[in-house]
């Protein structure tokens, strides 16, 4: 019997609500997986199906946010063509490997890096408040970031949005609003690629993923509206909160586990 038929209506409603909250958070600063992954586990989804189902939902949310940012003039896709190609290659490699390897070696590294981002952001009150001169050529940022962070997103995931945002602000000279919008281009790329790989492997529960994805669309519409209307300072503090919570949860999981 397909697993979709064993999941209750209440479970679908629960993940829809969780998806809406995650979509709002994800569209602004990333970190929605902190909400969606535990929610899918809580409704009884087997762990081996959680990642693929989560990718379906997050893909729906990030594509919605990206569409809003493109329509709002914060991002133009053709400017990020190289990053899209490199992110796709990195994400495909990472997603294939995670189905064969245990990513435990990243369990300590990623939260430590996130804490470093948190400290740096708190100590830089003007971070991303306005565009600045690029320190590294944009092609270099797109190739390096696409391959490394695309792989990370496909293989492990947490913190990808924060890593991209910091790289685009500090290296490419973007302000935080435009960095957030550009991040969604790469997030969408890696999510679509990962979803394709998980689908081929039969690791997606479609009814739950679509229910959670509907919530993510709603949340992404609301969150992207805030980014389009507010100043970069709003995005900065949202990033601080999200990075802090992500790092804290990951460290707690390592210590308790």
What would the pLDDT profile of 82-117 be if each residue is shown by its tens digit?
999 999 999 999 888 877 766 666 667 778 888 888
Closest to 41 (Cα-Cα) out of 53, 31, 50: 50
Q: What is the mean pLDDT of residues 58-68?
A: 97
So what's the pLDDT on residue 103?
62
- The rounded distance, in Å, linking the Cα atoms of 107 and 155 is 12
Is residue 254 within 8 Å of residue 107, measured between CB atoms? yes
- Give the structural domain span for 15: 3-256
Number of domains in the chain: 1
- The rounded distance, in Å, linking the Cα atoms of 192 and 180 is 18
So what's the pLDDT on residue 111?
82
Is residue 212 within 8 Å of residue 40, measured between CB atoms? yes
User: Read out DSSP for 181-227?
Assistant: HHHHHHHHHHHHHHHHHHHHTT---HHHHHHHHHHHHHHHHHHHHHH
Alpha-carbon distances, residue 249 vs 38, 159, 180, 245 (angstroms):
11, 12, 22, 6
- The rounded distance, in Å, linking the Cα atoms of 29 and 236 is 8
Question: The whole model's pTM is what?
Answer: 0.88
pLDDT beyond 80 at 183: yes
- The rounded distance, in Å, linking the Cα atoms of 168 and 136 is 10
Closest to 235 (Cα-Cα) out of 2, 37, 28: 28
Which helix (H) or strand (E) segment holds residue 117: the answer is helix 106-122
Average model confidence (pLDDT) for the chain?
89
């Amino acid at each position: 019997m397909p697993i979709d038929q064993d999941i209750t209506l209440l479970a679908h409603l629960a993940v829809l609500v969780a998806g809406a909250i995650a979509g709002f958070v994800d569209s602004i600063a990333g970190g929605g997986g902190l909400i969606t992954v535990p929610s899918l586990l809580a409704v009884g989804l087997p762990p081996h199906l959680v990642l693929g189902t989560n990718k379906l939902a997050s893909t729906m949310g990030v594509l919605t946010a990206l569409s809003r940012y493109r329509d709002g003039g914060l991002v133009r896709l053709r400017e990020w063509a190289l990053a899209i190609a490199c992110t796709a290659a990195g994400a495909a490699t990472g997603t294939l490997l995670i189905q064969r390897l245990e990513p435990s070696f990243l369990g300590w590294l990623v939260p430590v890096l996130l804490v470093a981002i948190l400290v740096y952001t708190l100590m830089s009150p003007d971070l991303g408040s306005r565009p600045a001169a690029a320190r590294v050529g944009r092609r270099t940022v797109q190739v390096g970031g696409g391959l490394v962070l695309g792989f990370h997103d496909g293989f492990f995931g947490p913190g990808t949005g924060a890593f991209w945002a910091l790289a685009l602000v500090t290296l490419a000279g973007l302000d935080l609003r435009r960095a957030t919008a550009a991040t969604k281009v790469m997030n969408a790329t890696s999510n679509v690629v990962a979803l394709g790989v998980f689908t081929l492997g039969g690791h997606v529960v479609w009814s739950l993923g679509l229910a959670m994805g509907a919530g993510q669309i709603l949340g992404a519409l609301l969150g992207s509206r805030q980014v389009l209307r507010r100043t970069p300072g709003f995005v900065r503090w949202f990033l601080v909160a999200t990075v802090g919570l992500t790092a804290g949860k990951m460290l707690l999981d390592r210590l308790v586990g």
